[in-house]
Structure 1
Amino acid sequence: MIFQLSPPAASPAIRRIAVGVLFFLQGLSFASWASRIPTIQQTLGLSDTALGGVLLALPAGLMLSLPFSGWLIAKTGSRKVATVAIALYALTLVSLGMAQTTLQLVGCLFVFGLAGNMANISINTQAVGVEGLYKRSIMASFHGLWSLAGFTGATIGAAMIASGVVPYQHFTLILLFVLVALAISSRYILPEDAGQNGDQPLFAKPDKALLMLGIIAFCSMICEGAMFDWSGVYFKKVLLADQAWVGAGYTAFMSTMALGRFMADWFTSRFGLKATLRLSGALIATGLLIAVALPYLSTAIFGFFLVGFGVSSVVPLVYSAAGKSTVMSPGVALAAVSTIGFLGFLIGPPLIGLVAGATSLRISFTIIAGMGLCVALLASRVKA
């Protein structure tokens, strides 16, 4: 019932904190799931191949909800959607820990993906509105909180594993925390969205400006997906790193991605959107090319540091620009751009595998570096 209370008046700073909490809660829920995947795989006796198939249920739910999320936010407002979606996200997290069969896990993952994307679009719509109150770039800092939550969730997950806590008990504790924090913060988020239009169609074709933003997000998320899925493989098979150092590239990437998001707003406010996107694309390309041209542990770690900085600001800035669309409401515009961008996240990892199988992993990473270069080149066509 607390979610039904009328939102009180609040300062922009309070609105910012409340929306930041929503980003943290979503990131914490996702990281909690990710930290226990090996445990759940072992419990259900899934092979690596079977697990790969099961995990496809999450992006399937996400993709299905992309156009629907924007339409629903335009109809009812992001405040209601964000509150319900994050609560459902955390509830579904517990169901993932309780799944006893592969089919149950697939069904729960599908709902997890659907709720996660509804939460993602709605909280980004909220962030666009709060950014409007500040009249300067603050979007990247919200995404920085999501990344910070990722580290927090991974740390809690490691502690739970070390203590022998089973997933559903771990996830139940996360659920309780999420519900309490959501009950408090949801009262202070924006009650109405800027440019809200309930007459938006379910499927909306993006205009040229949004299409360009979507393509930039697509290129960046190909690189991001490559780092998530292939950084460890690169360190193991190309660099022949010791087992203790296999995860060093991923850690380097994640640390600078989180740090870069807290720095990106200041940089964007000082130098502008186009300059920030150009630098981001250049950092992605340079970092990957260093890792490819100098396949040694120290140089590859440095290269992945640069990639993390480069990737960090692209999606937040693209979302911020999309939310200011003059032809669509923020929720629908964000959904349209997210749909294009997330295709890159899905295509990137298998593309690397196909190219690596035909040639080598170093050539795959060189092609991905080209995506970073595309971000830099396309930035000049973005409206400031």
Structure 2
Amino acid sequence: MDQTLTRSQLVRWRTAIFTIFFVVGLGFASWASRLPAVKQALDTDDFGIGILLLVMGAASIVGLSLANLIVARWGARRGMVATISCFSAGLILVGLAVQVAQSFELAAAALVLVGLGMSATDVMMNVEAAAVEQSFGRTLMPLFHAFFSFGTVAGAGAGIAMAAWQVGVQWHLGLAGILALVAGIVALGFVPQRDEVLDGDAPTPTRRERFAELAAVWKTPRTYAIGVIMLGMAFAEGSANDWLTIAMVDGHGETEAFGAVALTVFSVAMTVFRVIGGPLVDRFGRVWTLRILAVTAGVGLVVFILAPSLPIALVGVALWGAGASLGFPLGMSAAADDPKRAAASVSAAATIGYLAFLCGPPVLGWISHQIGILPTLWIIVALIAMSGFASGAAKPLATSTVGGGHRTPVSGDRTGDRDEVPARD
């Protein structure tokens, strides 16, 4: 049965997806912030921790591929109930495996659940976020990703506090898992059912046809071009997260404290531009915003590499962070322009982008071992340029209501002028 969504229902839908982005970020950062305690409890070394991270990363790639199949089988809303439950259960089990069982093998198995649940949820929450911004008629995807960043900050802050208070990993990750589960399930109660993501009781033949459509996106050149945008910017973001502090110390001869300062500057610049990015896209359009920010990121990274002093290096870091901020969210938004193929397209594009996060750090590490960290960063400059040249692929489809640019903010936007939007009960 068809129904309409009022403005208040749309706002609750938006808030629900904000919440899911936040708790996924919080859960991930809660795990990452306790890696030193995990290393000690499991009596392992850096190689062992690397194996755990590799297991989780590989499971994440599998989860991206499974997400569109989950949507085709159960719909996005019911699918997210399952994937958030998987993610939360994985966090709880990791804590028990590390602190109670003290078993490396059990911890690795639990991280498979974390990786599968997190990445599959990532696809579906981006599909829902794209639908929300289409309903509001303005770009919101960068703000959704800012909420993920807020969640990581909250999770890292909680990790610092838990470590300082000597709270066991099992209690910390257990609480994070329970919070993610409860908040996620409650939030999903405000997500409407929609035919585009098969939340309704569609007949079996339609679902079979849907599986064929999901495979078809890999034959679309636009999918790969969007993946290139996300690949370049994922390298730009991931290289900073993994190598910026080392580049400050080994490349520029600064202290570890200044390395941490540089990473903070990068993170703040990225988060700020994700908060303000939506209006920029609505004014200049998705394509020109990506091109301008690719230039910004490239120039910032060049300034950082060649910087003769610390202040100039930090200016370069700020430009680097601002420029890298919107590539991934706007790639997600572009992939979801067609609501009927959103889950498959987001899954495919995200797979390409996530490969950069998974494979980038070890590849850059190997190269930097050969030629040094600062010369290695020139590779990222080239990848950023590649992303900028591919930005034309993010041009909105004819059916899209966002990303075209030249939208002047007024007191009554689409949701103010039209209080109801079709949905599916």
Taking structure 2 as the reference length, the TM-score comes to 0.84
Cα distance in 2, alignment partners of residues 191 and 85 from structure 1: 17
1:229 paired with 2:242, answer yes
Pair 347,171 (structure 1): closer, same or farther in 2 beyond 3 Å = closer
1:217 paired with 2:219, answer no
Could you say which residue in structure 1 is the equivalent of 2:108?
106
Cα distance in 2, alignment partners of residues 346 and 364 from structure 1: 17
Counterpart code for 1:371: L
Which segment is superposed worse, 23-32 or 194-203?
A: 194-203
Cα distance in 2, alignment partners of residues 129 and 108 from structure 1: 32
Cα drift, residue 27 of structure 1: 0.6
Cα deviation 1:167-198 (Å, max 9, x = unaligned): 11112222332233223211101322536573
Alignment check: 8 A CA contact 2:141 2:333 kept: yes
Counterpart code for 1:348: G
Alignment check: 8 A CA contact 2:146 2:271 kept: yes
Cα distance in 2, alignment partners of residues 62 and 179 from structure 1: 19
Secondary structure class of the residue paired with 1:136: coil
Cα drift, residue 206 of structure 1: 4.1
Give the one of 346, 350, 356 matched to 1:334.
346
Cα deviation 1:238-281 (Å, max 9, x = unaligned): 12222322212221111111111111111000110111100121
Unaligned runs of 5+ in 2: 199-205, 397-425
Cα distance in 1, alignment partners of residues 193 and 308 from structure 2: 52
Alignment check: 8 A CA contact 2:267 2:321 kept: yes
Could you say which residue in structure 2 is the equivalent of 1:200?
211
Alignment check: 8 A CA contact 2:86 2:116 kept: no
Counterpart code for 2:173: F
Counterpart code for 1:200: F
Cα deviation 1:206-240 (Å, max 9, x = unaligned): 41112110111111111122111111111121122
Cα distance in 2, alignment partners of residues 237 and 64 from structure 1: 35
1:1-384 alignment runs, 5 A limit? 11-99=9-97, 100-192=102-194, 194=196, 196=198, 198=207, 199-201=210-212, 203-204=215-216, 205-325=218-338, 329-384=341-396
Secondary structure class of the residue paired with 2:65: helix
Could you say which residue in structure 2 is the equivalent of 1:4?
none
Cα distance in 2, alignment partners of residues 349 and 24 from structure 1: 25
Identity %: 27
Pair 187,370 (structure 1): closer, same or farther in 2 beyond 3 Å = same
Secondary structure class of the residue paired with 2:292: helix
Secondary structure class of the residue paired with 1:246: helix
Structure 1's consecutive aligned runs of 4 or more residues displaced over 6 angstroms after TM superposition are: none
Cα deviation 1:276-332 (Å, max 9, x = unaligned): 100121121111101101153222222121121111111111111111137x62111
Counterpart code for 2:227: G
Secondary structure class of the residue paired with 1:73: helix
Secondary structure class of the residue paired with 1:200: helix
Taking structure 1 as the reference length, the TM-score comes to 0.93
Alignment check: 8 A CA contact 2:29 2:156 kept: yes
Cα distance in 1, alignment partners of residues 153 and 46 from structure 2: 25
Alignment check: 8 A CA contact 2:302 2:316 kept: yes
Secondary structure class of the residue paired with 1:103: helix
Cα distance in 1, alignment partners of residues 308 and 19 from structure 2: 40
Alignment check: 8 A CA contact 1:23 1:123 kept: yes
Secondary structure class of the residue paired with 1:157: helix
Counterpart code for 1:143: H
Counterpart code for 1:129: A
Secondary structure class of the residue paired with 1:164: coil
Pair 308,17 (structure 1): closer, same or farther in 2 beyond 3 Å = same
Unaligned runs of 5+ in 1: 1-7
Alignment check: 8 A CA contact 1:223 1:348 kept: no
Cα deviation 1:130-185 (Å, max 9, x = unaligned): 11211121111100000011111111110111111011111222233223322321
Q: Which of structures 1 and 2 has the bigger CA Rg? A: 2
Secondary structure class of the residue paired with 2:326: helix
Cα drift, residue 88 of structure 1: 2.1
Which segment is superposed worse, 184-193 or 283-292?
A: 184-193
Pair 298,206 (structure 1): closer, same or farther in 2 beyond 3 Å = farther
Counterpart code for 2:298: A
Cα deviation 1:15-74 (Å, max 9, x = unaligned): 111111111111110011111011111111111122112210011101112222112113
Cα distance in 2, alignment partners of residues 180 and 52 from structure 1: 30
Pair 125,382 (structure 1): closer, same or farther in 2 beyond 3 Å = closer
Pair 88,195 (structure 1): closer, same or farther in 2 beyond 3 Å = closer
Secondary structure class of the residue paired with 1:194: helix
Counterpart code for 2:353: G
Alignment check: 8 A CA contact 1:36 1:167 kept: yes
Cα distance in 2, alignment partners of residues 195 and 186 from structure 1: 14
Counterpart code for 1:279: I
